[in-house]
Structure 1
Amino acid sequence: MTAESTELSRRTLVKGAAWSLPVIAAVAATPMAAASTVTNVGDFQVDGSCGVLGVLGPGFTITAGAEALPAGTVITISTSGIANIGLFSITGGLADIQLIGSTGNRVELTAPLAAGATADLRAVVSLGVGSTMTAVLTLPAGYTAGTGAKSSGGVEQTLVLCSAS
């Protein structure tokens, strides 16, 4: 073997290594970039609603923002001043509703709520005098709210009046 052929082999090896470094770096960075992707769902709204006495129970209207609210979104409903929250219903049947003790419900979307669409969560019975009901929406991992999103709402029943936020 001559010195010239050994030198050429070393050069070829170094050139090959130099060309492969950017490719290896790009491949290694791809999973980290993919894992950090976050979807902004926009300015969704959670609004309390008093309902209509004897016709429509109190509850909440959930309105999706510029993007759909994803499946896995959770709305936690809690009450105070009432012995039993009772049953809830949701329009469109796109959620699983679980009773949490006697004063709470956990609602999880089983399908996306389309961009700009609304869903109504309603108590089957009216609230009692001096009671409050609050709903808080939590997005699943990988999703974030817009800066103008309203993630909670409330309903308060006094002796005669009902107010919602």
Structure 2
Amino acid sequence: MPKAICTYVRTMDKISEYVGLAAMYLIFLMIGVLLLDAITRNVIDIPLHWCIEAAQFTLAAYYFLGGAATIKNGSHVRMDLLYDRLSARGKAWIDAITIFCLIFYLCILLFGSISSLGYAIETGERRFSMWNPSMIPIKALMVGCILLMLLQTIAEAFKHIAQVRGGRL
């Protein structure tokens, strides 16, 4: 593979790993928010209306930010009916074919998320609740993370193509 592709793959792997590591720590933030909610609601009887929604947004960010690292590490769900019986090169062929389906899906998802973000910005979209938070930050994060997943998936496609050709990146 050309040096530019190898550099791209290494760069995307590092970025995805760092973003995934940051996502991992969001679970502690979510636990803290839910613990605060439990204490204020049950111990001192002062319910904080923003806690549950903040926990939901944190969980959404956790899933979005962890997507690229999940793709990089191959820790996604896979149907292994025949896949396990294939050779390493056969697995690379299957992965090289199916990864283009994932790229197509992520392109459609990215298009929809950009449209949704545009709508949120144009209308000043807010969630209908007592806290009434803006939807723009979570939708912007969604667009960024889907783009990162798409870029990581392209890096994975290069890895699979190299493996089919008998090399590695």
Q: Is TM > 0.5 for Structure 1 vs Structure 2? A: no
**Range into which the TM-score falls when normalised by the shorter chain:** under 0.3
With structure 2 as the length reference, what TM-score do the two structures score? 0.24
With structure 1 as the length reference, what TM-score do the two structures score? 0.24
Structure number with greater CO (CA < 8 Å, separation at least 6) is 2
* Larger fraction in helix: 2
Larger radius of gyration: 1
